[in-house]
Structure 1
Amino acid sequence: MAEHNESGRLAEQLAADWLIGKGYELVAQNYRHGHAEIDLIMKHRGILIFVEVKFRSGTGFGYAEEFVDATKRKLLIKAADHFIYEEDWKKDIRFDIVGVYKDRSGNFNFRQFEDAFY
């Protein structure tokens, strides 16, 4: 597996653990539909949350939220629509982005952008 793929999987697991620590419930991880993949699907306070996780080893090239373009958002929404249909979900939803940042000391920091798009 390529190093960036391993970093991405680690970031997804760290983000899931971080969100669980904040009271979120993990529903699904790496949900695929067609060409789209939703990194994490969580529940929190009665809301179904579709989470895109972005890993950055610094902010020199920009922040996580800057790397979810219109094409990616469209794919995520399409996959989320399919998940909602499969689960017959009738309550509120939202789309979040969680940035996982590794600092020079090797520590991981998180930044959550709630209701980032739709």
Structure 2
Amino acid sequence: MNTLVLAYIYLACAIISEVAGSTFIVKSDGFTKLAPSIAVLVLYSIAFYLLSQVVKVIPLGITYAIWAGVGIILTAIIGVIVFRQALDLAAMIGIALIISGVIVINLFSHTAGH
């Protein structure tokens, strides 16, 4: 398999792990509940390990922009769906700008190694 494709697969898995870990932070109730607290540690460890593999292929700035941007979007979606947290217009506009930035990086940046 192409190393760039594998790097993006790892990046997707890192994002999923980070978002799941962030979700368990809420469930851990300030790290007072053992099982969700362990889940946070395990999921964040997986996320950072995978991220360390991605930066061997994709530049750190691009990797982090995609990881953070997509993570923010997915975490906001989970907040709305799972935790019934409302997003105001400013938050939705900000998320739309993040989505735009990730799209621009992936479609137009030669730095991303496409």
Is TM-score (shorter-chain normalized) higher than 0.5? Answer: no
Higher helix proportion, which one? 2
Return the structure number with greater relative CO, CA threshold 8 A, min gap 6: 2
Task: Using structure 1 for the length normalisation, give the TM-score.
Answer: 0.30
Q: Which has the larger radius of gyration?
A: 2
Higher strand proportion, which one? 1
